[in-house]
Structure 1
Amino acid sequence: MPKSHLDPVDCRIVAELQANGRLSNVELADKVGLSPSPCLRRVKRLERDGYIEGYRAALRRDRVGLGFSVFIGVKIDGHTNERALAFEKAVVEMPEVIACHLVSGEADYFLEVVVPDLGDYQRFLVGKLLNLPIVREVRSNIAIQTLKAGAPLPLEHLEPGQSKSIPQAAK
């Protein structure tokens, strides 16, 4: 896979956009010390090369009626590729699942689920997740309080003034 580089200016651009994705190009250019045209070219390249996935509004879960968060460890029966892929496809299509990770350890997958309340979680668990034939065991952890969620990626490992090689995202 070809390598691409994030130079210090690219790092400042993505850091600023993580902090505020609604910056105009002129505002962004001013913050990173570029004129608007080269700044826009860099942003378009970062989007095209897959560093920037997209832009969206960050919503307060409780304000939109989704204040009940559950972290679920899921063990599956067997690990045949075809069945595991079917599980992954089904879970990714469930709107309540906002994150799904294949993990090592006690569980095979770790899901983050948001729903309005405990009753909705029970309906999700019994009516959807446990209905998947490959699911062997589920362990639920209910979030009591969220102290941090959806934070920007930490880019400090890319030291200012130093370019480091980062794999280019698949197009």
Structure 2
Amino acid sequence: MPDIDAVNAEILTLLQEDGRMTNAKLSEHLGMSETPCWRRLKRLEESGIIEGYQANLSRRKLGLGVMAFVQLRCSEHDQAATAEFQRIVETTPNILACHNTTGADDFLLIVVARDLDDYSGFVDSTLRRLPGVTSIRSNLSLKEMKASSKLPVSAASMK
């Protein structure tokens, strides 16, 4: 695992801002030559700190106007039910995230849909059919005040 020193922290911060930044531009921002910059970047990728690169899309411009936070409670927790639940969640594109949580509910999902009718259909066709689900509670987002996948990176916070 590479050390997250100030230079590596800056590389991670810059790439979170612009994942398409070239090595030449990255090294220019850092004030270092391209070869050591490239080596650092490769170490960050190979260690798994950088998991991949992707484009950030506008869900609204893609027609996905509804975002729901869904709390699920399950009665079955055996290995087969859990594996089937996980398989369905992982292969359902409308489910952006799923977390196994503490508290009264077992899972928290983030789900997107075109509109309320589409979301209602998704609840009936997918969520109600998940193995062992005994309770579904949805909270619809009225206004997205912040959405980010950027992690706070600093050399000091990584020690």
1:147-166 residue pairs with structure 2 within 5 A? 147-156=145-154, 158-159=155-156, 164=159
Amino acid at match of 1:10: N
TM-superposition CA deviations, 1:51-89 (whole Å, max 9, x none) = 111111111111111121000001111322331122112
1:103-118 residue pairs with structure 2 within 5 A? 103-118=101-116
> Identity of paired residues, percent?
38
Instruction: Judge conservation of contact 2:69–2:139 (CA < 8 Å) in 1.
Output: yes
TM-superposition CA deviations, 1:23-53 (whole Å, max 9, x none) = 1111111112221111111111111110111
TM-superposition CA deviations, 1:105-147 (whole Å, max 9, x none) = 1211100001110111011110011012311111000000111
Instruction: Judge conservation of contact 2:74–2:132 (CA < 8 Å) in 1.
Output: yes
Q: 1:168 maps to which residue? A: none
Instruction: Judge conservation of contact 1:47–1:53 (CA < 8 Å) in 2.
Output: yes
Aligned equivalents of 2:98 and 2:36: distance in 1? 37
Instruction: Judge conservation of contact 1:8–1:163 (CA < 8 Å) in 2.
Output: no
Once superposed, what is the RMSD of the aligned Cα atoms? Answer: 1.5
> Which sections of structure 2, spanning at least 5 residues, go unmatched?
none
The higher relative CO (CA closer than 8 Å, separation ≥ 6) is in: 1
Aligned equivalents of 2:158 and 2:53: distance in 1? 25
Aligned equivalents of 1:93 and 1:34: distance in 2? 42
Q: TM-score, normalised by structure 1?
A: 0.87
Aligned with 2:37 (options 25, 28, 39): 39
Aligned equivalents of 1:138 and 1:33: distance in 2? 52
Q: 1:131 to 1:9 in 2, by over 3 A?
A: same
> Which sections of structure 1, spanning at least 5 residues, go unmatched?
165-171
Aligned equivalents of 2:17 and 2:38: distance in 1? 17
Q: Would you say 1:133 and 2:106 are equivalent positions? A: no
Aligned equivalents of 1:128 and 1:163: distance in 2? 40
Q: 2:52 maps to which residue? A: 54
Q: 2:15 maps to which residue? A: 17
Q: 1:98 maps to which residue? A: 96
Aligned equivalents of 2:94 and 2:114: distance in 1? 10
Runs of 4+ in 1 over 6 A off after TM superposition: none
Aligned equivalents of 1:163 and 1:62: distance in 2? 35
Instruction: Judge conservation of contact 1:102–1:109 (CA < 8 Å) in 2.
Output: yes
